[in-house]
Amino acid sequence: MADRVRTRDVAARLDQPRDTRRRLTRADTDRFGRFAEAFARFMGTARFLMWMTVFILAWIAWNGPWGPERPRWDAYPFIFLTLILSLQASYAAPLILLAQNRQESRDRVQYERDRRADAQSHADMEFLAREVASLRLGLGEVATRDFIRGELRELAESLEAEPDQESEAEESAESASE
């Protein structure tokens, strides 16, 4: 509440001039920036160059010393045309620079997003590499299918060989008892 009173007192003081400068709001600067980008984008097209060439050729054709007598507003050195082109260039250059600055700001934000996403992807890949390595270590201690098949094959062979050995032992015991 005290801040409101102080603000009102400062605004009501008659011994100081009122600040009449008009400040652009954020929305206005964005609108102007979009206009600058559209203008710069248009000036970089073949259509703009074609229309500018047609305009200059028409200007020179109308104001040149040849042809029928007609009102000419810009005589041969074409000083007024030079002034118009200089004025256009003096406005175009800052608008193009503004558009480039805005694009650079957007590129910086996009670069920062890409950098963060790249760092996250790198961390995820490192995590997955560690997980795969731990799985490999864990699988080293686990019996594989080929290992189990080999063990079963050896067991089956040894079981098949035992009855033959028992029958041979029985035959040799019988022949010894006779």
Q: Within a 13 Å sphere around the CA of 147, how many CA atoms are in the beta-carbon half? A: 6
Confidence (pLDDT) at 93: 93
Q: Does position 113 have pLDDT exceeding 70, yes or no? A: yes
**Averaged pLDDT for residues 6-32:** 68
Contact 48, 42 (CB under 8 A): yes
Spatial distance between the Cα atoms of 115 and 43, rounded to a whole number of angstroms: 33
Domain boundaries, the chain: 26-139
Contact 95, 40 (CB under 8 A): yes
Q: Does position 15 have pLDDT exceeding 90, yes or no? A: no
Spatial distance between the Cα atoms of 54 and 60, rounded to a whole number of angstroms: 10
Confidence (pLDDT) at 147: 84
Residue 146's CB is within 10 A of a number of other CB atoms, namely 8
Contacts of 117 (CB under 8 A, 6+ apart): none
Confidence (pLDDT) at 53: 96
Using one digit for the tens of pLDDT, what is the confidence trace for 58-107? Answer: 998 888 888 778 788 888 889 999 999 999 999 999 999 999 999 999 99
Spatial distance between the Cα atoms of 151 and 156, rounded to a whole number of angstroms: 9
